[in-house]
Structure 1
């Protein structure tokens, strides 16, 4: 599961050959969540409120890049790093 971003202790990853809807995985301090890229919402899991707000804002900013990585992952190609939230 390649890491595509890391910021403020928040790790963002994406699986190869994952199923729809387009999604990415988030880990922070032992908490995990699955985020829908298109709807920018939590599909499963939970994060602390502050970290969730950061992740969702980051998702909106990088939605196009996340979708590009989703397509690359479906094709089994290397994923691109995405700039962290600063």
Structure 2
């Protein structure tokens, strides 16, 4: 998890990478706050984040 106080996305978040694409997800709402993925990769990351949300928040 990254916390960047002066960044545009200054919420607890994580970065997800797939090939040349990057998406930044808010941990609390599991929504993309920057970047983008194709829908298939987006669903995969969102499902993973739901399963691991407590771990991400405690990090």
Q: TM-score range by the shorter chain?
A: 0.7 to 0.9
Q: CA deviation at 1:68?
A: 1.3
Give the CA RMSD over aligned residues.
1.3
Question: How far is the alpha carbon of 1:21 from its aligned partner?
Answer: 1.0
Q: Larger C-alpha radius of gyration, 1 or 2?
A: 1
Matched residue, 2:4: 18
Which secondary structure state, in structure 2, belongs to the residue aligned with residue 56 of structure 1? helix
- Count residues with an aligned counterpart: 55
Runs of 4+ in 1 over 2 A off after TM superposition: 17-20
TM-score by length of 1: 0.59
Gaps of 5+ in 1: 1-13, 70-86
